C-alpha cells in the first residue's frame, strides 16, 4: 500500500476558508415524515443543493485552488461516472485550468451534459468506472496531465469533510452521521471532521450490496476487488481506494450494505418526503437508517443526501 498524507482537522478548516468564496453552506433540514418513519430525530444534509448537484464540488474547489503553476499549465485529467467529474470541471473552470474527464460508455446523460457544459473535454471509453480510471491514468502518463484520483487525494477529502463540519456546527448534538460510499472520500471526510469535534459521534457508511468493494475491504482489512452491478453510479466502484480506506479503518464506526431494492425504495421516500430530487447514492443513507432503525431510535441522526443528479429516464424508471 502507498503512504498517503492523511488530512487533519486543520486541513478541513483551511478547506472551508478556501471554498467559502465559491460555495455556500448547504441546508440541513428536518422532515416530520422521516422522523416518523425512523422513530427518531432526523436531519438531511442537502448536498443536492450544490451548484453541480453533489457534495464532491467541495473537494474539487479545495484541490484546484492549491495547484502549482506547473500543474495548472499541464492541465487536469480524471475519471468519473459523473459527480467527481463535474466537481473537477466546475473548479477547473473557476480557476481557468484545462480539464479532461474519462467516462465509461453509457454514462448518466444528465451528468455528462453537465460536465460538457462546464467546459471539460470528455473522453468516453470502457465498460465501467474502473476502465475509465485506467484510461485516465494511461493518458496522464502519456501527456503529462495532472491526474486527479477520485479518492486518493488529501485535498479532495479535506474539502468534502466540510459538509460534516457544517452538520455539527448547525446541530452540535448530532449522534450519528450516515454517509454513502463509492470510493469513500465522503465517509473518510466525515470521520475526520466528526471525530475531531466530538469523538462520540458515530459515523456509519453505506454501500450497495451490488458493488461491495469498499465494504468488504473495510470488513476484511485487506484490499478486495468486487463485482460492480449497482445502478447507483455514485456507489459504483470495483476496487477500493487506499487513502479513504486507511481513514475508515481507523475511525469508521459501522459499515452497512443495502440492496438495490432498498435503495430504490429509499429514493422514492426521500423524493416524496423532502420534495427534493435525490439520486440513488444520496438516498442510500436512508436505506441504511431503515435497516438500523431499532439501533438508531432516540438518537439524533444526520443523513447525507450526497447528490441529486437523476436523469429523466432514471426518474421514470424509479416512479414506474
Residues marked as catalytic: 56, 306
The packing angle between helices 260-274 and 312-319, to 10°, is 100
Contact residues for 270 (Cβ-Cβ < 8 A; gap 6+): 44, 276, 278, 282, 283, 286, 305
CB atoms within 10 A of CB 16: 21
DSSP secondary structure string, 133-169?
Answer: HHHHHHHHHHH--EEE-SSS-HHHHHHHTHHHHHHHH
13 grid coordinates: 478548516
**Taking Cα atoms as reference points, which of 221, 225, 185 lies closest to residue 205?**
185
The single-letter DSSP state of residue 20 is: T
- The C-alpha R_g of the chain, in whole angstroms, comes to 18
46, 148, 155 from 275: Cα distances, Å: 11, 34, 32
CB 89 within 8 A of CB 119: yes
8 Å CB contact between 284 and 266: yes
Amino acid at each position: 500500500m502507498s503512504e498517503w498524507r492523511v488530512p487533519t482537522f486543520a486541513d478541513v478548516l483551511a478547506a472551508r476558508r478556501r471554498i467559502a468564496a465559491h460555495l455556500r453552506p448547504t441546508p440541513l433540514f428536518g422532515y416530520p415524515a422521516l422522523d416518523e418513519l425512523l422513530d427518531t430525530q432526523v436531519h438531511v444534509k442537502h448536498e443536492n443543493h450544490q451548484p453541480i448537484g453533489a457534495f464532491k464540488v467541495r473537494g474539487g474547489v479545495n484541490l484546484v485552488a492549491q495547484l502549482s503553476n506547473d500543474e495548472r499549465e499541464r492541465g487536469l485529467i480524471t475519471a468519473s461516472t459523473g459527480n467527481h467529474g463535474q466537481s473537477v470541471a466546475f473548479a477547473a473552470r473557476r480557476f481557468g485550468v484545462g480539464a479532461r474527464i474519462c467516462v465509461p460508455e453509457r454514462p448518466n446523460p444528465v451528468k455528462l451534459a453537465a460536465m460538457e457544459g462546464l467546459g471539460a473535454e470528455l473522453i468516453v471509453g470502457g465498460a465501467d468506472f474502473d476502465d475509465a480510471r485506467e484510461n485516465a491514468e494511461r493518458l496522464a502518463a502519456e501527456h503529462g496531465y495532472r491526474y486527479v484520483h477520485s479518492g486518493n487525494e488529501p485535498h479532495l477529502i479535506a474539502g468534502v469533510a466540510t459538509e460534516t463540519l457544517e452538520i455539527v456546527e448547525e446541530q452540535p448534538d448530532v449522534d450519528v452521521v450516515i454517509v454513502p460510499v463509492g470510493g469513500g472520500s465522503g465517509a473518510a471526510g466525515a470521520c475526520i471532521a466528526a471525530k475531531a469535534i466530538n469523538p462520540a459521534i458515530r459515523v456509519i457508511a453505506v454501500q450497495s450490496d451490488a458493488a461491495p468493494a469498499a465494504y468488504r475491504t473495510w470488513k476484511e482489512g485487506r484490499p478486495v476487488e468486487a463485482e460492480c452491478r449497482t445502478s447507483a453510479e455514485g456507489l459504483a466502484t470495483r476496487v477500493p481506494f487506499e487513502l479513504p480506506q486507511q481513514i475508515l479503518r481507523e475511525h469508521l464506526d459501522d459499515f452497512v450494505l443495502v440492496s438495490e431494492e432498498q435503495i430504490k425504495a429509499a429514493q422514492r421516500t426521500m423524493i416524496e418526503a423532502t420534495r427534493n430530487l435525490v439520486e440513488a447514492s444520496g438516498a442510500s443513507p436512508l436505506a441504511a437508517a431503515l435497516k438500523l432503525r431499532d439501533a438508531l431510535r432516540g438518537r439524533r441522526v444526520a443523513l447525507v443526501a450526497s447528490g441529486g443528479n437523476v436523469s429523466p429516464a432514471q426518474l421514470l424508471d424509479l416512479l414506474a
